[in-house]
Amino acid sequence: MRILSFNVNNAPQNAVTRINEVISLIEKLNPDIISLQEVLPQMYIELINQLRYKYYISEQPANNSYFTVLLSKFSYPITYKSFRNSTMGRGYIIHNLPNLTIVCTHLDSLPISELIRKKQIAELLEIKNNNNNNNIIIFGDLNFTNPDETIKELKYLEPINKNMYTYDSLYNRNAVYPFRTNLDRFYTNIGNRYQITILTGIKTSDHFPVVLDIFSGI
């Protein structure tokens, strides 16, 4: 299984051109599941028009100027839910496969939201507990800005290119803030046969996309 996560940047400039480059990346990588964060409505239209024949696509949330989208090759339920405590209109998407629960999200941003993010993580972990602790992957733009921020109940999957970061002001000209960190992360309780890769050659956004390849059955 291959899962792609990418914050595509909600800047309106060249939005359609940029999402078309993302679609080209999707067609090249051929992932089974995709989460895109900060999708604008005009970007969503392009995703629907070009990828609905290959992927099941989550619905656009109401009254959001930008939002998270999940695309999947699997015909199992895809459900969007708003966080109980978000100050930024954020939410998460649940995709229940037979032996695996996929949860993609975009947590509230910036250091001032650290306490809110902790509550949002607790809300996501309720999904794990309600599913009798079955296999789960929680991922997306988690916006962790403090080294102590993590999901202690699950394993953090580290990228193989450890000298690079998903938000990397040194190597990505689009990055506005002068820091290097992994805002985009995968956490799970699955086994050890996996690989995380940051795709540093893709520079359509202020984030780099990240790919999880799982090499064994779940």
Residue pair 136/189 in contact (Cβ under 8 Å)? The answer is yes
DSSP string for 199-213: -TT--SSSS--EEEE
Output the six-digit token pair for 129.
């507990």
| Per-residue pLDDT tens listing for the chain (218 residues) | 999 999 999 999 999 999 999 999 999 999 999 999 999 999 999 999 999 999 999 999 987 899 999 999 999 999 999 999 999 999 999 999 998 999 999 999 999 999 999 999 999 999 988 876 589 999 999 999 998 999 999 999 999 998 999 999 999 999 999 999 999 999 999 887 999 999 999 999 999 999 999 997 66
- CATH class of the 2-214 domain in this structure: alpha beta
Residue pair 168/152 in contact (Cβ under 8 Å)? The answer is no
Any idea where the domains of the chain sit in the sequence?
Answer: 2-214
pTM for the structure as a whole: 0.96
| Site of tokens 């972990």 | 125
Instruction: Using the CB atoms, write b or e for 108-132: b if 16+ within 10 Å.
Output: bbeeebbebbeebbebbbebbeeee
